[in-house]
Amino acid sequence: AKEQGRNNFQFYSASYNLATFEHLSLEGRLRRALANDEFELHYQPQVRAETGEIVGLEALLRWNDPVEGLISPDQFIPIAENSGLIVPIGEWVLRQACRQISAWQAAGLSRVSVSVNVSAIQLQRQECATKVDQVLNETGLDPRYLELEITETALMKVKPEVIDQLGAMQRKGVIISLDDFGTGYSSLSLLQELPIGKLKIDKSFVRDMLTDPKDAAIVSAILLIAKSLGLKSAAEGVETLEQATWLAEKGCDKLQGYLISRPLPAAEMAKLLKSGV
Ligand code: C2E
Ligand code: CA
Ligand code: CA
Ligand code: CA
């Protein structure tokens, strides 16, 4: 029936086709989701490994579809990236996250930083750095409380101009963090050339590091590299006390994972911050 529909394309009026397409495609639904305010951010705490104190929050995008309910980013980020919709969606995320953190700071909640995931498509746009500046000005957030999480694969793809812009942001205090570190193909020399302040160890290594000596070796090596290059380190996907202890002993600066907390809606995160953990 789908094939037939495609062949019969020219028989329908243009507006009918557009409506049908929009109704069926995920891209159309994403476009509508942005217009209808169906996105929300959940926040997951990052704690200092030594003390357990919350020092940062990662903003994680959720789509609250009126029909299907909460949809996870893995299901729609790739479509948003392919369609270019990640640019306005990413801008929404950045603004919402900065606005929220700024509001919490103004309300006297503990001062935490916010980490925002930035996709390669967003970075490739010339205006990316300008957008970040604009949002920081608009929300009054001190740049030192903003962290941009960029995957190593994304960072390898960007133009030299963008690298310069990232450098400029870093000089203002924004922290550039290499996300999913160890899963991509970056060469170690890249770490030295690119403006990076932090390595974030991917959860796939953390998951198996206490049972698989190879994963343990990779995690130890990443932490050593971070230390030798003067970079901060964080581990995601920390689910057990054993993992947390091991990572803290190896000198990992920050920990994030279900052991500490799942990502929470803003209202619940505010309560957690108020309780002063
Ligand atoms: P990520 O940046 O690597 O984020 C970490 C993911 O691990 C999150 O999944 C988080 O909920 C999950 N996680 C946290 N703690 C644990 C744990 O202890 N165990 C396990 N198994 N998982 C844990 P989530 O929220 O489903 O996000 C998936 C991915 O979607 C993110 O991976 C990120 O790449 C992407 N994403 C999320 N929000 C955004 C966004 O605003 N913009 C862009 N471009 N990508 C986003
Ligand atoms: Ca991330
Ligand atoms: Ca990851
Ligand atoms: Ca393994």
**Using one digit for the tens of pLDDT, what is the confidence trace for 88-115?**
999 999 999 999 999 999 999 989 999 9
Q: Which residue has the higher pLDDT, 110 or 260?
A: 260
pLDDT of residue 5 exceeding 90, the answer is: no
Q: What are phi and psi of 251, to 5 degrees?
A: 90, 15
pLDDT of residue 189 exceeding 60, the answer is: yes
Residue bearing tokens 């306005």: 88
* Mean pLDDT of the region 200-226: 97
The complex scores an ipTM of 0.97
Residue 1: C-alpha distances to residues 5, 19, 21, 227 (Å): 6, 18, 15, 59
pLDDT at 24: 56
Contact 27, 85 (CB under 8 A): yes
pLDDT at 9: 44
**Following DSSP, what letter does each residue of 54-81 receive, concatenated?**
EEEEEEEEEEEETTTEEE-HHHHHHHHH
* Mean pLDDT of the region 47-53: 97
pLDDT of residue 215 exceeding 80, the answer is: yes
pLDDT of residue 34 exceeding 80, the answer is: yes
pLDDT interval class at 277 (50, 70, 90):
low
161 Cβ partners below 8 Å, 6+ apart?
126
Q: Atom 23, ligand 1: which residue's CA is nearest?
A: 237
pTM for the model stands at: 0.91
Ion ligand 4, residue ranges at CB < 5 A: 208, 212, 215
Choose one of 236, 239, 243, 261 to mutate for the ligand 1 pocket test, by most ligand atoms within 8 angstroms of C-beta. Answer: 236
119 CA from centroid of ligand 2 (Å): 10
SS3 44: strand
pLDDT at 6: 47
Choose one of 34, 60, 62 to mutate for the ligand 1 pocket test, by most ligand atoms within 8 angstroms of C-beta. Answer: 60
> Which residues, judged by CB distance below 6 Å to any ligand atom, belong to the binding site of ligand 1?
44, 60-61, 72-74, 77, 86, 90, 93, 117, 119, 149, 179-180, 203, 236-239, 257-258, 263
Q: Atom 20, ligand 1: which residue's CA is nearest?
A: 237
Q: What is the mean pLDDT of the chain?
A: 90
pLDDT of residue 208 exceeding 60, the answer is: yes
